[in-house]
């Protein structure tokens, strides 16, 4: 395990880019995308935080942290018992840190039911973290629902990245998600859709191509496509991102390509903002 990242000087600090990985439909590669994209960005020597906001804790176990061994998790931070710094853990990648999750996170909706600020808990925690932590990117793995945890992620995020499997019901779910994003923009005007990433893609499947073509007519879709890949499926059982398990596998290469796109888009957006000033 590497050491936790050290604070940086205030003069060097810029706000991290916060990307929520969201899809209310389960089984589409959401956690796989959050883990492997975060790891791939960290491999590019960008200080990166993976924040596990799913009570199943699969993103945590995907980078080698078993939820059963976690003493304090994102649950403790959301209910005010800890800061993100206090629960943060290192990972095998020097530039990647983890805010873990575990099963008790399912109780957060009950704990916060009478709190009028419940949609903004994560936003405030991340704002506090920026005071001393050097992260350039934060990736939030959201649960497969559009409940209070996902709303917290959307309220805190700069952008949404949507993993999508090319199947018949995918477009219906996408429409519901976009409606939720539009509603959250009332309280988070900066929220944008980073793009759709096609996951578990099988080029031999005609339906996959038809759904992909339809999505591309309405949304921004990343050029990088994540294929069905056995090594990508095996990696979580070893507690490793795919690039540490088998960097030459098609799955690992797909996420490295996606990371390059995300970084290029961010650099392009930052340049455009400077020119607009």
92-116 pLDDT, tens per residue? 999 999 999 999 999 998 898 889 9
Q: Hey, where are the domains in the chain?
A: 15-276
d(CA 109, CA 121): 12
Computed on alpha carbons and rounded to an integer, the radius of gyration of the chain in Å comes to 18
Could you tell me the pLDDT band of residue 7, with boundaries at 50, 70 and 90?
very low
Q: Does the pLDDT at position 8 exceed 60? A: no
More confident residue, 205 or 153: 153
Q: Which DSSP helix (H) or strand (E) runs through 272? A: helix 250-276
For the chain, give the mean pLDDT.
Answer: 90
Task: Please report, rounded to a whole number, the percentage of residues in the chain having pLDDT higher than 90.
Answer: 71
DSSP single-letter state for residue 22: -
Beta-carbon neighbour count of residue 272 at 10 Å?
9
pLDDT score, position 11: 37
The 8-class DSSP code of residue 220 comes to -
| pTM exceeds cut of 0.85 | yes
pLDDT at position 254, please?
97
pLDDT at 274 over 60: no
pLDDT band at 134 (very low <50, low <70, confident <90, very high): confident
What does the pLDDT read at residue 273? 57
Q: Are 63 and 50 in contact (CB under 8 A)?
A: yes
Closest residue by Cα to residue 36 from 266, 267, 268, 224: 224
pLDDT at 5 over 50: no
Query: Is pLDDT of 6 > 50?
Result: no
Q: What is the mean pLDDT of residues 180-203?
A: 93
Q: How many residues are listed for the chain in this entry?
A: 277
Mean of the pLDDT values across residues 192-212?
90
Strand partners, 20: 140, 160
Q: How confident is the model at residue 171 (pLDDT cuts 50, 70, 90)?
A: confident
What pLDDT, in 10s, does the model give residues 15-33?
899 999 999 888 899 999 9
User: Per the structure block, which two tokens stand in for 261?
Assistant: 């796109």
- For the segment 30-59, what is each residue's pLDDT rounded down to a tens digit? 999 999 999 999 999 999 999 999 999 999
Helices and strands in the chain, H and E counts: 12, 7
Neighbours of 53 (CB within 10 A): 26
Per-residue DSSP letter, 88: -
> Under CATH, what is the fold of the domain 15-276?
Rossmann fold (3.40.50)
Residue 131's pLDDT is what? 81
* 277 pLDDT higher than 50: no
Mean pLDDT value of segment 183-199: 94
- Write out the H or E segment, with its range, that includes residue 50: strand 48-52
């Amino acid at each position: 395990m590497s050491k936790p990242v050290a604070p940086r000087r205030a003069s060097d600090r810029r706000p991290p880019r916060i990307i929520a990985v969201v899809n209310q439909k389960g089984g589409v590669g959401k956690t796989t995308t959050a883990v492997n994209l975060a790891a791939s960005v960290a491999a590019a020597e960008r200080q990166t935080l993976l924040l596990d906001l799913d009570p199943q804790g699969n993103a945590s176990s995907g980078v080698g942290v078993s939820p059963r061994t976690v003493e304090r998790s994102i649950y403790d931070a959301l209910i005010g018992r800890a800061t993100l710094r206090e629960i943060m853990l290192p990972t095998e990648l020097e530039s990647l840190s983890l805010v873990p999750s575990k099963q008790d996170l399912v109780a957060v909706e009950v704990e916060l039911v009478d709190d009028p600020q419940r949609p903004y808990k994560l936003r405030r925690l991340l704002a506090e973290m920026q005071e001393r932590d050097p992260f350039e990117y934060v990736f939030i793995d959201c649960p497969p629902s559009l409940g209070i945890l996902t709303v917290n992620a959307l309220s805190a995020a700069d952008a949404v990245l949507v993993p999508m499997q090319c199947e018949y019901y995918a477009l219906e779910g996408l429409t519901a998600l976009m409606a939720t994003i539009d509603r959250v923009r009332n309280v988070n005007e900066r929220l944008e859709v980073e793009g759709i990433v096609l996951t578990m893609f099988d080029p031999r499947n005609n339906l996959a191509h038809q759904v992909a073509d339809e999505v591309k007519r309405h949304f921004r879709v990343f050029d990088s496509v994540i294929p069905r890949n056995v090594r990508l499926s095996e990696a979580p059982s070893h507690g490793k991102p795919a690039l540490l398990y088998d960097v030459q596998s098609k799955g690992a290469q797909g996420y490295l390509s996606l990371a390059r796109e995300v970084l290029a888009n961010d650099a392009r957006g930052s340049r455009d903002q400077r020119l607009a000033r």
